[in-house]
Chain A
Amino acid sequence: MKILVIEDDEGTAGFIAAGLETRGHEAVVARDGREGFERATADRFDAIVLDRMLPKLDGLGVVALMRAERVSTPVLFLTNLSGIDDRVDGLEAGGDDYLVKPFAFEELMARLIALARRPTLGASTTLLAAGDLEMDLVARTVRRGGEDVVLQPREFRLLEFLLRSEGRLVTRKMLLEQVWEFHFDPQTNIVETHISRLRTKIDRGHDASLIHTVRGAGYMLRVANPAA
């Protein structure tokens, strides 16, 4: 992936760029809002990491100008501590996701991949599938190997999110935000228990497990390679 990092703090910018490069991605760093906007319009990127507070032109301004120029590159906002309003403002201005500093690199990476792979608008699907697992979004039904799997609405939403992110890491935080709309981290392990229930339901009577735990990072729905 080719990622534009618009961040004036050298430490954070360096941390993101180094992390991207070690994972084989390309990182372009811009140090202020105006430079960032110019680069974003001049070149094609898979995603943009955009700090809220920037010299010359702030993050909201960059996104607003970009969208006015019909640049639809997905934007991930970096906000400082707290910031309920910050997030709402960022998403309203045209941002696609947000992450509160400080963050784990894996979290940023997972979100960037999710953003870059996001299907373009209009390309709506009614059927999701992974291996022998099928999900009908219209009939709200799930089948594994031809057998019906009965899910509760929230479990359905959880599985849908995992299916849409098939083969990619999904962090606990992403699930809390997307499935439960929890923008905070409760002490109780609500994600773990829901995942384990879902796993029990869809893996029952099947040898291959579809939902995998990625240690210390999150989960991934992946069809096991038959050769492995």
Chain B
Amino acid sequence: MSRTRLLRTASFRLAAIYLALFAASALALGAFVYLSIRHEILADFDERIVEETDALRSAFAEGGRERLAQMLEARGASGGAFAYGLQSPDGRLIAGDLRAPAGGAADGWMEAREADSDEPPEAKPEIVRALATRLGDGSTLVVGDEQRRSEEILKGVMSAFGWAVAATVALGTAGGLWLSAQFLGRIDSMRRTAQRLMAGDWSRRIPLTRTDDDLTALARTFNRLFDRIEKLLLANKQVTADIAHDLRKPLASTLRQLEAARSVDAPPEAARAAVRAAIAEIEGVLETFNALLRIGEVEAGARRAAFRPLDLAEVAREVVEAFQPAAEVEGKAIIARLEASLPMPGDKELLVQMIANLVDNAVSHTPSGTSIEVSGEQTSQGVSLSIADDGPGVAPQDLKNIFQRFYRADMARKSPGTGLGLSLVAAIAELHGLQCSASDNRPGLRVMLTSAEENE
């Protein structure tokens, strides 16, 4: 899979958009937190200086400049957090080491410089935030604190946020790439399968993953679509082959018969017989066409609009009753086990034909002495109808093919019929949502029509 295709995938683009939104909101949050922390820290910082200044001012009020100078010396020596300075009105430093900048002897906040004798003069002098207060005798008290500590805290907060955002972007990018690669891989397998199918390999199906998600459901739907297409293609192939056999053959033999009848020296009786035979052949061909068109009509599904609620058992009883006398004449018995009612919506005319075709087959393709059982029952899915005989049955390899158009097991090929009766049964069953299956009745053939499970 190429990198550009990966970048173009819908899921990657989606991931990128989410990532950008998330990074933007993280940045906004970071800025807000940073600014609030900074505000808090600075306010706290200033408050401490003000408090210290107030304490010193009350000391000045009690004991004057002397006492204040002593206190400043004591506090400076104890290594407290603050830096102090007491300047005489002429700018001379009386106590402490904090000096207000020149000319800045006014009240208020300022940036002061520490005149620390320990540090070498070339070193960058420490700048501290300081509060200058003019005292009653004209001297100025300066109380300051190193701002470096609060700046370090803020710097730490900043860098933590920087790392967090960087990690988010990195993880998001990697995750987005991975997710879209997963997604794309599955889409790709669908595309590849479709291409193989188009290339003619109709047995291909999309491999299903173990996770049961939307894509798996989509793949399953596609696979069912492919099943249907494959079935139609096979049926089409079969029809083409069988039209050649089932329609061309009688037409060709008709042509031969008529040509023979036309010849001058043909005796009149022979000519008449040839014409009779030709008519019979043509009738067979028309019957086949009729059956094909009827199947087509049923498969198109237009009749579904005419569905009415009915009882399939009732329909089956009527069919059984119609066939019983004829079967008895041929030494066969039809037994109906249709006590349960089988309600379903349907087209009665078509259902009659469906059951009649099955019973008709059972009666006409079995030897004398066969018994045929038509039984129905209600199932959890709906209804189930079975038409079974104990005749010679159908070879196992033919069982799954008997519902195909023109398919006739070797035995049946010799007997009359279009070979389309069971295809029509299958088409009518499908129209009614019934599943049609043939199985070995040991001995004999059993055809089951059961309500198919609801499709998802």
Give residues in A with beta carbon < 8 Å to B. 81-85, 88, 100, 102, 152, 154, 180-184, 186-190, 192-194, 196-197
A186: contacting residue among B290, B350, B360, CB under 8 A? B360
A151–B242 CA distance with the chains assembled, in angstroms? 46
> A81-B289, A154-B321, A186-B356 given as contacts; is B349 within 8 A of A192 (CB)?
no
Residue of B nearest to A187 (CB): B364
- Could you tell me the distance in whole angstroms from the C-beta of B352 to the nearest C-beta in chain A? 6
A186–B357 CA distance with the chains assembled, in angstroms? 7
Q: Does B303 lie within 8 Å of A100, measured CB to CB?
A: no
Q: Does A187 lie within 8 Å of B416, measured CB to CB?
A: yes
Give residues in B with beta carbon < 8 Å to A. 286, 289-290, 293-294, 296-298, 302-303, 306, 318, 321-323, 325-329, 348-350, 352-353, 356-357, 360, 363-364, 416-417
Q: Does A85 lie within 8 Å of B302, measured CB to CB?
A: yes
> A85-B303, A88-B306, A154-B321 given as contacts; is B329 within 8 A of A193 (CB)?
yes
Chain B neighbourhood of A82, CB < 8 A: 289-290, 293-294, 296-297
- Could you tell me the distance in whole angstroms from the C-beta of A215 to the nearest C-beta in chain B? 15
Q: Does B353 lie within 8 Å of A85, measured CB to CB?
A: no
A180: contacting residue among B293, B322, B416, CB under 8 A? B322
Residue of A nearest to B416 (CB): A187
Q: A82-B290, A187-B360 are in contact. List 16 more A-B contacts (CB 8 A).
A: A82-B289, A84-B349, A85-B297, A152-B321, A181-B352, A182-B356, A186-B323, A186-B357, A187-B364, A187-B416, A188-B327, A188-B363, A189-B326, A190-B322, A193-B329, A197-B325
- A to B CB contacts below 8 Å, 21 in the list: A82-B289, A82-B294, A84-B294, A84-B297, A84-B298, A84-B350, A85-B303, A88-B306, A180-B322, A182-B322, A182-B353, A186-B323, A186-B356, A186-B360, A188-B326, A188-B327, A188-B363, A190-B323, A190-B326, A193-B325, A194-B322
Residue of B nearest to A194 (CB): B325
Chain A neighbourhood of B298, CB < 8 A: 84
- Could you tell me the distance in whole angstroms from the C-beta of A182 to the nearest C-beta in chain B? 6
Q: Does B294 lie within 8 Å of A154, measured CB to CB?
A: no
Residue of A nearest to B302 (CB): A85
Residue of A nearest to B415 (CB): A187
A159–B212 CA distance with the chains assembled, in angstroms? 63
